[in-house]
Structure 1
Amino acid sequence: MDKSTSSYQIGVRVPSDLLALIDAVAQLNACERPDAIRQIVRFGAPLIIAGKGVNLSRVLMTLEIVAEDCLARAEAKGHDAVKKLIETAQANLERHHV
């Protein structure tokens, strides 16, 4: 059987605070716990393996600054530039993140 299509069941005990985090991810993504756990592992494991951490507050602040700057630059160029920026961002979101 191809490893990419193989599926393995594992059992893990977690304390109530971790279960609450899993449930919060599941609720935000409108999915069940197993899917939430898979999402958490897919996102977190590569960072841990690479020895990196994420300061979520800093990432979000940086994204807000970049978004504000992009919108200001587009607004200076006119309505069509703002429309193109939003359409391109939406297309990239759907292509790479959804």
Structure 2
Amino acid sequence: MDQFAWWSSENQVKRLMKLTLPDFIGISSYGLEFYKDNNIVICTSDVYHQKLAACSLNPNTSNLLVLKIKNHFLKNREKYQLVLNEVPT
């Protein structure tokens, strides 16, 4: 089993932990494995860093930005791809 995606995700979380981030920022990192049959596996280090993934409401949230992102998604759905967290068979 290739554990590179998990290892790289774990290292990314360690790098993020060294930053002085505000309490409203949660940390979560994912590694992706791509297979020739077009399957994708997502590996995460959340199991070991669940407390870091917790966050609070961002006091600087821009409702206009959130609306713009929503509108972009609705107008450009074909540019987005649904990725399921499933192990290839």
What interval of TM-score do these two structures reach, taking the shorter chain for normalisation? under 0.3
Greater CA radius of gyration, 1 or 2?
1
Name the structure with the higher helix share.
Answer: 1
- TM-score, length-normalised on structure 2? 0.22
